[in-house]
Amino acid sequence: MSKFRTVFSFPNPVNEVAARLVAAMVFFFSISYLFTGELWVLILLAYGFAARVATGPTLSPMGILATRFLAPRIAAPKPVPGPPKRFAQSIGLFFSITAIIAHTGLSIGGETLAAILIAILTVFAGLESFVGFCAGCFVFKRMMDWGLIPKSVCEACVVGDQS
pLDDT at 6: 64
pLDDT at 44: 98
162 has pLDDT over 50: no
Q: Domain range spanning residue 123?
A: 2-134
**pTM score of the predicted model:** 0.92
| Residue 149 domain flag | no
- Phi first, then psi, for residue 14 (nearest 5°) are -110, 145
In whole angstroms, how far apart are CA 85 and each of 14, 34, 108, 118? 8, 25, 34, 19
Q: How many domains does the chain have?
A: 1
157 pLDDT band, cuts 50/70/90, is confident
| Residue 85 domain flag | yes
H helix or E strand, kind and range, residue 24 = helix 16-36
| Residue 48 domain flag | yes
pLDDT at 4: 60
163 has pLDDT over 60: no
| Residue 148 domain flag | no
pLDDT at 72: 97
Backbone CA torsion sign across 14, 122, 140, 50? negative
| Residue 156 domain flag | no
